[in-house]
Amino acid sequence: MATKTKQSGDGGETHQKAGEGTEVLTTNQGIAIADNQNSLKAGARGPTLLEDFILREKIFHFDHERIPERIVHARGTGAHGFFEATDDISDLSKAALFTKGEKTEVFVRFSTVAGGAGSVDTPRDVRGFAVKFYTREGNWDLVGNNIPVFFIQDAIKFPDLIHSVKMEADRAYPQAGSAHDTFWDFASLMPETTHMLFWAMSDRTLPRSLRMMEGFGIHTFLLVNAAGKASFVKFHWKPKLGIQSTIWDEALKLQAADNDYHRRDLFEAIDTGDFPEWELGIQVFDQAFADAQPYDVLDSTKLIPEDDVPVRIIGRMVLDRNVDNFFAETEQVAFCPGNIVPGIDFSNDPLLQGRLFSYLDTQKSRLGTTNFHQIPVNAPRCPMANFQRDGMMQMAVPKGRANYEPNSLAAHGEEGGPRECPASGFATSTAPTGRDETGDKLRVRSELFADHYSQARMFLASQTESEQAHIASSFVFELSKVGLLDQVPGRMVANLRNVDEAFAKRVADGLGIPLPPKATAAREPVEIAPSDALSIQKNMKDTLEGRAIGVLIADGTDAADLSTLIGAIEKAKAKAVIVAPKVGGATLSDGKVQKADGQLAGTPSQIFDAVAVVLSEEGCTALLNEGAAVEWVMNAFGHLKAIGASDAAKPLLDKAGIKPGDGVTGLDDGFVPAAAKRFYAREPGLRTLA
């Protein structure tokens, strides 16, 4: 077989062309495909055309590959709540849900991307963040992730991306992870993935809790006011508790400790009245701003720095009710980006344009009928009437003959059915979303889509030293899992040289490979100022609200010390979780038995945000030979958490190798403030990072 000819397109995307003796890529009907990288658009930045049968067939087949489990985002959990508009943006949008003071029912589903429904909650992975608003004008679905950008620029590449990151086709592993050959082979050949790779290799993909992660709509949308004026908008969800993540070693141990860690955390928070809350923010800008940027605002691999366009908070979302039945609600909820209401509209983002087709088609595949909108969790809360009839699982019982329009049945005394309403109905905005919206039908990418490295460089420069070390170590770990495809690590590092030379060398050294020649950039990167908003550590809140403190006790623990500590933890709005060698608890110094919330052997410290060790000399001596006790404090120290300990517990800390320093305190007033932090400066002395 001859070698395929490799060539880059206008956007820097890799085109592998058939050479002599190689098979030609075709549709399922045998029609040869000339371009498998770009969907057909009306002009370089125009909308994707429905006539693109190659795109439709490819995504149609992908959507129907597996049923009934979701192909992506299969592992998820959901909850009910409400959205309340807190600011008047009638000058920007006529959408009723944005009326100040308006409360709108919502259903939210959080999910991982790569794993199946039976995988674990805590792999390194992007998290889905999908919100269904049951507005009085119909349902609006804001279907996004916990990262503001995505791997690809065009929806035609989505099946390839997901095939590459899913379990390898010949062996069905690894499950729920990207650290394997095929994903990195794809990523190294697609420079447009670079920015998202830095986010994916950061601690953003290791969230401490679903309640402590941001959400993003990813795409550029439009807001449209009553006068028809359109503005560009990006949607942001900001968690009330701030952003928190775990570290890699901690995430691995959480998988072993509790496969359901995130869904349990969300369920229990709502169940105990500690309702999760997010603020909804918007970045609004006009065409002049868009034209002035060194990137294209319709490119989903790019973000708009908050330093350039600050996020304006316009509402809050509270999740206050768990589902009654997981299957009926969380599994059957169907989100579609095409579900929008008057006052919101689409841009020509080619990734968004493909999603508008794909999601609706997927719901038919998963739920078996075009009537999936009649399932209670999907049904609008406002009146719904049209002439769509019949189909599998039809639950409505329409009366009369009116199943078409126009009709004159009403003039003859019969029910004529609903009618269109130009005054309040949805009308697509005629506002252009950028340059080059008219022209020839082309399979191309807009010129600015070719810059794949500038924003990745901005993201890296925005991180703390600790975060940069985590990202480098993540690249090293994942690329070290690439087996037979020995060209892939070098090719990936060659791309990284376009982001930062020192960083690329760091990764190459971690892999033990020579620094490869720099990959040719389709468009030379430009310098964009770093943004503190992109860093987790720079935005962490020093608060214990909504968090859990593990308190280790044993027989002889001082009752007064324990009571004082629990009171201080609860005053800080955190939860004290009592851990003891036996689930029945321990006998305290006053002779009373303190029941435990968890047994030491089955309640590891990685499930807590900080730990306290409240032991007597007797209790400490008893635990010195308990491997679980030594590991309990050792892991907390290794995961950079605060440790408060009684004087009598010092031998246990010594055996675990815990050295005095920041974050290691007594049980005095210094513990609770320390417990609100992570101590990243401790890490270089504990493990080798790239």
How many Å apart are CA 269 and CA 545, to the nearest integer? 11
Is the per-residue pLDDT at 33 higher than 50? yes
Can 452 be counted among the known catalytic residues? no
Question: Residues 301-328: pLDDT tens digits?
Answer: 999 999 999 999 999 999 999 999 998 9
For residue 592, give the DSSP letter.
-
Among the listed ranges 1-10, 95-104, 479-488, which one has the minimum average pLDDT value? 1-10
Q: What is the pLDDT of residue 17?
A: 86
Pairing label, strands 344-346, 664-665: unpaired
What percent of the chain shows pLDDT beyond 70? 98
Sequence-separated (6 or more) residues with CB below 8 Å from residue 102: 84, 85, 96
Q: Which of 145, 371, 378, 495 is catalytic?
A: 145
- What pLDDT, in 10s, does the model give residues 647-675? 999 999 999 999 899 999 999 999 999 99
Three-class DSSP category at 58: helix
Residue 457 marked in a binding site: no
Is pLDDT at 689 greater than 50 in this prediction?
A: yes
Kindly tell me if the per-residue pLDDT of 46 is higher than 50.
Answer: yes
Say if domain 548-685 classifies as CATH 3.30.70.520. Answer: no
The catalytic position among 38, 73, 322, 378 is: 73
Residue 158, annotated as binding a ligand? yes
Give yes or no for residue 101 having a pLDDT over 90: yes
Ranges 62-76, 142-156, 262-276, 539-553: which has the least confidence: 62-76
Q: Are 154 and 350 in contact (CB under 8 A)?
A: yes
* 359 assigned binding-site residue: yes
Position 66 scores a pLDDT of 63
Q: Is the dihedral of CA 377, 378, 381, 384 positive or negative?
A: negative
Query: 70 a known binding residue?
Result: yes
The overall average pLDDT reported for the chain is 93
The reply to whether domains 1-65 and 76-169+192-378 share a CATH topology is no
Q: At residue 494, what are phi and psi to the nearest 5 degrees?
A: -60, -40
Give yes or no for residue 481 having a pLDDT over 50.
yes
136 annotated ligand-binding residue: no
Weakest mean pLDDT among 215-229, 420-434, 503-517, 588-602: 420-434
CA-wise closest residue to 213 among 271, 123, 149, 126: 126
pLDDT digits (tens, 9 = 90+) for 412-434: 999 988 888 888 888 888 888 87
Q: Are 207 and 244 in contact (CB under 8 A)?
A: yes
Q: Which of 586, 45, 128, 511 is nearest to 337 (CA)?
A: 128
Q: So where are the chain's domains?
A: 1-65, 76-169+192-378, 548-685
Is the pLDDT reported for residue 515 higher than 70?
Answer: yes
Average pLDDT over residues 82-92: 98
Q: Which CATH number fits domain 76-169+192-378: 2.40.180.10, 3.40.640.10, 3.40.1350.10, 2.60.40.1180?
A: 2.40.180.10
pLDDT at 588 > cutoff 70: yes
Domain 1-65 = CATH 4.10.91.20: yes
CA 308 to chain centroid, in Å, comes to 23
* Whole-angstrom distance, CA of residue 363 vs CA of residue 197: 29
State pTM to two decimals. Answer: 0.89
Least confident of 124-133, 191-200, 272-281, 348-357: 348-357
Whether the predicted pLDDT of 368 surpasses 90? no
Q: How confident is the model at residue 2 (pLDDT cuts 50, 70, 90)?
A: very low
A 10 A CB-CB count for 673 gives 13
Q: In this predicted structure, what is the pLDDT of residue 129?
A: 98
CA–centroid distance for 220 within its chain: 17
pLDDT beyond 90 at 51: no
Among 657, 667, 661, which Cα is nearest to 687's?
Answer: 657
Burial 537-563 (b: 16+ CB within 10 A, else e): beebeebbebbbbbbbbbbbbbbebbe
Residue 29 pLDDT class (50, 70, 90 cuts): confident
Mean pLDDT within 190-208: 98
Q: Answer whether residue 67 shows pLDDT above 70.
A: no
Which of 418-432, 462-476, 508-522 has the least mean pLDDT? 418-432
* Cis status, amide bond into 68, omega within 30 of 0: yes
Which residue in 263, 266, 145, 130 sits closest to 199, CA to CA? 145
**CA 471 – CA 605 distance, rounded (Å):** 24
Cβ–Cβ < 8 Å for 417, 333: no
pLDDT for the residue 6: 61
Does the active-site annotation cover 236? no
pLDDT band at 1; cut points 50, 70, 90: very low
The number of residues making up the chain comes to: 690
Q: At what angle do helices 501-511 and 487-496 cross, to 10 degrees?
A: 160
How much is the average pLDDT of 219-247? Answer: 96
Tokens of 585: 């608890």
- Grade residue 560 by pLDDT with cuts at 50, 70 and 90: very high
The residue that leads in pLDDT, 114 or 404, is 114
